[in-house]
Amino acid sequence: MRAHERARRAVALAVAGLLTTGLLAGCDAPGPSSSGSSGSSPSGPQGTASAQPVWERCQAPEGGSAPGSAWRCATVDVPLDYAKPDGATLSVALIRKQATDKSRRLGSMLFNFGGPGGSGVGILPRAAVAYGRLNTRYDLVGFDPRGVAASSGVRCRGDAEQEKAYREVDMTPDTPAEEAAFMDDGADFGAGCARLSGPVLAHVGTANAARDMDAIRRALGDRTLSYFGVSYGTELGGTYAHLFPEHVGRIVLDAVVDPTADAVGHARNQAIGFQRALDNYFTDRGEAPEAGTRRLEELLRRIDEEPLPTSSGRELNESLAVTGIVAPLYSKRNWPSLTAALAEIGAEGTGDRLLALADSYNGRDAKGRYDTQSHSQRAISCADTKARPTAEEARALLPEFRELSPVFGPFLAWDTAGWCAGWPVDGERDTPEASAPGSPPVLVVGTTGDPATPYEGARRMADELGEDVGVLLTNKGEGHGAYGESRCVTSLVDAYFLDGEVPADGRTCP
C-alpha cells in the first residue's frame, strides 16, 4: 500500500468516482484584462517567446482509447534543467477541449488531478462531463507533468518485478529478515528508476512542474494561470502561486495537502485521516468504531499469518488487504464495496473482492499489467523531500502511529523509511513553500471527512498562502474532494471561476 501524503488512487478506483470527487482544475484571472484571448504573446524563460502548441487529433494513450473528436493534443518544450535554460529540453504533453461558447470565452483552464503521477492527458477526457458548465467559457486543458506518462514518464521496474514485490514484501515487517527485505526493495526500486529513466529523474520535482505550468500558460497565450488542482495538485498549485504570484488568476485547490508537514508529518496526517474515515464508515453501518477497528486488527493479524486464497490462484496477504481497505475509503459512495469485501471473507474465507480493490488502487489490470503512476509518484515525491528516514526511525514511530490508527498506522510508519530508501537523487526541501504575497485570492476547499488529505491541511494552506490570498471554504462531508460531491461547493466554485465571485473566508457548506 502506498497512501502517503498524496492520494494517488482516487482516480484508479473508477472514472465515476473520479468525476464526483471533483478532479477538476481550472480558472482564469480576476477580470477581463486577464483573458488569454487578447494581448501580445507573453514572454518565456529568459525573455524568449513560448511557441504556440500545434494541436492535432489525439492518439490513444498506452493501455487506453483515443478521446472523442472534440479533443486535440499537443506538446510544449521546456528546459530539462531550469538552471540551464539553453540546454537539453523535454516535451510536456497537453490535451484540450475548446470552450463551447467562444463568444464568451474567458481563457484556458489547466487541470491537475493529483498523484503525483496522474496523467491529465489520460484522465481529463473521461472526467470532462463534470466540468461542462465551466467548459462553456473555458478551454479545458490537461497535461502530463514531467516524469509522467507521455511527458518523459519515469519507469522503474517491470510487471513481473512489481508482482513479486506485492506478493513477497511485507510492508509491516515483524522480523529482521522481513525488515531487510522491505528496505532492500525500496533501494532496488530507486536503482531501477535510475537505470530505466535516465537524466529526467533528477528534474521531476514539483517546483520544476510548476515552472512548466507557467510555460504552458505562456504557450496558450494566457496572461494569468487558470487552474484547478486536486490532492497533490493543490501542492503543485501552491508552489505555482509562490513562484509566480503575479501570474495567478482564479485558482482552486480542493482536497488540500498540508504544506507545513514534512514526510513524517504527512504520514501522521494520513494515519489520522484514514482512521477518521474508517470510524465514520463503521458509524454509518451502525457499528461502534472501536469494535470495528478491533475486528479489522484481528483480521489483518490472521491474514499476516495465513494469506487468504482467491479464485485467481493469487493470495491476499496483509499488505494487499490493507490496500483493499484503504481504497474505498476515498469516497462514501464506495463504502458498500468494502462492506461486500469483508462479508465475503466472513462467509467464504476468500479474498477476491478485497484483492480486486487492492489491484485497482495499485494500477494492475486483469492481465497482470501495472501502470507506471506509482513509479512517477515515487520519483516526484523523493525528488521533492530531503527526508530519508531509516528503519530505526520508522520503528521508533510505531507506538505513536499504532495509537493513531491500529489498522493503518503501522503501514504508514514503515512507509516513511521504505518509500525513498537508497534513493539515487537528493531531495529538494523539507516542506513545500506556498506563501504568495501579492497574489489574487486563491480558493482553498477542505472536506472535514477527507481521509487522504485531512481537513486541517486546508486551513494551513490558506494560512501559508497569506493574508488576503488564501480563502478557506469548508465542506462538511466525507470523501477526497468536494467539487461535484457538494452542491454548495460546486455552486460557489463555479461562481468564482465564471463570475469572479470570491466566497467569504471561512464559509462553510453543510
Evaluate whether 106 touches 138 at the Cβ level (below 8 Å). yes
Known catalytic membership, residue 231: yes
What is d(CA 324, CA 328) in angstroms, rounded to the nearest whole number?
Answer: 7
Buried b (16+ CB within 10 A) or exposed e, 389-402: bebeebeebeeebb
How far, CA to CA in Å, does 435 sit from each of 4, 12, 227, 240, 292? 23, 32, 17, 10, 41
User: How do 138-143 and 89-97 pair as beta strands?
Assistant: antiparallel
Beta-carbon neighbour count of residue 159 at 10 Å?
14
Q: Note if 480 is an active site residue.
A: yes
* All residues at 6 or more sequence positions from 480 whose CB lies less than 8 Å from its CB, including other chains: 7, 10, 21, 231, 255, 330, 331, 447, 450, 451, 452, 453
CB of 189 closer than 8 Å to CB of 222: no
- Asked if 473 and 443 count as a contact pair (C-beta separation under 8 A), the reply is yes
- H or E element in which residue 175 lies: none
Query: Is residue 28 flagged as an active site residue?
Result: no
* Catalytically annotated residue among 144, 247, 480, 486: 480
- Check: CB of residue 108 under 8 Å from CB of residue 220: yes
Class of residue 132 by CB neighbours under 10 A (exposed 0-12, middle 13-18, buried 19+):
exposed
Distance, CA of 394 to CA of 397 (rounded, Å): 5
**Among 254, 262, 450, 486, which one carries the catalytic annotation?**
450
Which of 7, 12, 17 has its CA nearest to residue 484? 17
Give CA separation, 288 vs 205, 277, 299, in Å: 42, 13, 17
Cell readout for 216 is 504552458
7 membership: H or E segment, kind and range: none
Distance CA 369, CA 128 (A): 26
Say which amino acid occupies 413: A
Distances from the Cα of 189 to the Cα of 54, 158, 186, 278, angstroms: 36, 10, 5, 31
Among 91, 327, 128, smallest CA distance to 228 is for: 128
Q: How far apart are CA 366 and CA 312, in angstroms?
A: 10
**37: helix, coil or strand?**
coil
CB 316 within 8 A of CB 307: yes
Residue of 151, 152, 231, 405 with catalytic role: 231
From 330, 300, 259, 334, select the one nearest 405 (Cα to Cα): 300
Residues with catalytic function: 231, 450, 480
